[in-house]
Amino acid sequence: MQKVNSGTAYIIWGLCFFGICGGQRLYTGNIVSGLIYLFTFGIFGIGQFLDLILIPGMVNKRNIYLRGLGVGEASGSNPAITLNIDDLKQFKQAQPSFSKTPMQKLLKAAKDHGGTLSIAQAVLYTELDPQDVQELLIDAQRHHLAEITNDPETGAIRYRFDL
């Protein structure tokens, strides 16, 4: 996976002493503003000077974007998953059949998967409709069984259960 480096961005910023301004913005993926800086000499030097402070944020923003593009790319291709449906049917029949409430299904799914679920995972594990799951998650929050958090890497919404 590609990664943008702050040191490289600062070195490219130094090209402004040779009349080439905005290279750091082009490097961090800000194409339009990079071209504006190039043709206006870094907005007459003011923008170029401000970029000394802004470069770490631009690099971080670009790396987050690039990391999002690389999600699911382990070796350049998506892994194949094989599922034998007959095994699933036999597994479901072997389980004891007793009725659980939707909240119990949700809490069991959370417990079985580390206490943290996304909405899609909750739908998958509880086998309920997405609207029912969202209402169920709101109820879990209201009863202080779960709290909304964000995934630190992707920023996706996660529900963390106190189990």
- The letter for the amino acid at 53 is I
Identity of the amino acid at 101: T
* 131 vs 123: CA distance, rounded Å: 9
Phi, psi of 55 (to 5 degrees): -55, -45
Model confidence over 60-118: pLDDT tens digits?
A: 998 888 888 766 555 555 566 676 676 666 666 655 556 678 888 888 888 888 888 88
Q: How confident is the model at residue 11 (pLDDT cuts 50, 70, 90)?
A: very high
> How do 146-150 and 116-117 pair as beta strands?
unpaired
DSSP 8-state code for residue 160: E
> Does residue 143 lie within any of the structural domains?
yes
Judged against a pLDDT cut of 60, whether residue 14 lies above it is answered with: yes
In a domain, 56, yes or no: yes
Residue 89 domain-assigned (yes or no): no
Tell me the pLDDT band of 40, cut-offs 50, 70 and 90. Answer: very high
Average confidence score pLDDT of the chain? 83
Q: How confident is the model at residue 32 (pLDDT cuts 50, 70, 90)?
A: very high
Query: Is 123 a member of any domain?
Result: yes
Q: With contact defined as beta carbons under 8 Å apart, do 1 and 66 qualify? A: yes
pTM across the whole model: 0.43
Q: Domain span at residue 20?
A: 6-69
Q: Is the pLDDT of residue 20 over 70?
A: yes
Q: Is residue 119, in this structure, part of any structural domain at all?
A: yes
Is residue 106, in this structure, part of any structural domain at all? Answer: yes
